[in-house]
Amino acid sequence: MADLIQITHEGRVALIRLNRPQALNALNTALAEELTAAAEALDADKGVGAIVVTGSDRAFAAGADISEMAEKTAEEMVEADFFSTWDRFAATRTPKIAAVNGYALGGGCELMMMCDFAIAGEGAKFGQPEVKLGVIAGMGGTQRMTRLIGRALSMDLHLTGRMMDAAEALRAGLVARVVPDDQVVPEAMAAARQIAGYSRPATRLAREAVMRAEELSLAEGVAWERRLFHRLFGTSGQREGMNAFLEKRKPEFHAD
């Protein structure tokens, strides 16, 4: 059987490509496990500073695999804690960029939202169409989308199942950038190279601090951020970054 994902490395950036094109990269259990194991291994590798996750030209991912789920019973779903693998993917700390062409629907849109930000092609389409299947989002969509784009639009997408185009997704804040379709992966790789060129603790803690904004009150979040800021003064990245600025030279960060 062909690998369900392909991983290539370019310097300190890893590119993960979902590889079930015949099923529009529908996310079955095997793919979830392979992708999560790969992300965890890359997360533990100090030589990797950023990860790009992408699909094919036609689909980032058209959702959880409906053929795998269709016959399952509630007992089986509870017993397997179906979809819990994705919590491990979301918990990886390396900055992750979703590079999205084509459909990002259901679980595909949810996988995109588990990444730290998304760069989409002009032809990309987004949605949470689970309601059309008699279910609801199950990989965090109702929660992450509502935090990202607000209740009104999130309700609209979850209740009508309609698709949102790239221009609307950009306006809504669902994606960070929209570029021509053939520029999606190059743009995401360039952003990933930029991130991977910085001090690894700085990018990890920046990510952690921003994520905390979704969980904490403003006062708690500001205090959390300040503690992380203080902690970075124990890293070689802080010394190198600030000294390089004062010495008017380009910083050389190490994976510390």
Binding site for ligand CO8 (CB under 6 A): 23-24, 26, 62-67, 77, 82-83, 103, 105-107, 129-130, 133, 135, 137-138
- Out of 130, 196, 202, 206, the active site residue is 130
Q: How far is the CB of 176 from ligand CO8 (least distance, A)?
A: 22
- What single-letter amino acid sits at 204? R
Q: How far is the CB of 225 from ligand CO8 (least distance, A)?
A: 33
From CA 235, how far away is CA 155, in angstroms rounded? 43
167 as an active site residue: the answer is no
76 as an active site residue: the answer is no
Q: By C-beta, is 57 or 256 nearer to ligand CO8?
A: 57
What number of other Cβ atoms are within 10 A of residue 241's Cβ? 17
- Out of 34, 110, 187, 225, the active site residue is 110
Token duo for residue 190: 């360039």
CB neighbour burial string for 155-164, b if at least 16 within 10 angstroms, e if fewer: eebbeebebb
Q: By C-beta, is 112 or 206 nearer to ligand CO8?
A: 112
CB neighbour burial string for 24-38, b if at least 16 within 10 angstroms, e if fewer: bbbbbeebbebbbeb
Q: By C-beta, is 52 or 109 nearer to ligand CO8?
A: 109
Q: How far is the CB of 165 from ligand CO8 (least distance, A)?
A: 13
140 as an active site residue: the answer is no
Angle, CA 25 vertex, CA 19 and CA 26 arms, to 5°: 140
Nearest to 116 by CA among 133, 102, 96: 96
- Out of 32, 39, 50, 64, the active site residue is 64
237 as an active site residue: the answer is no
Q: By C-beta, is 43 or 130 nearer to ligand CO8?
A: 130
- Residues serving a catalytic function are 64, 107, 110, 130
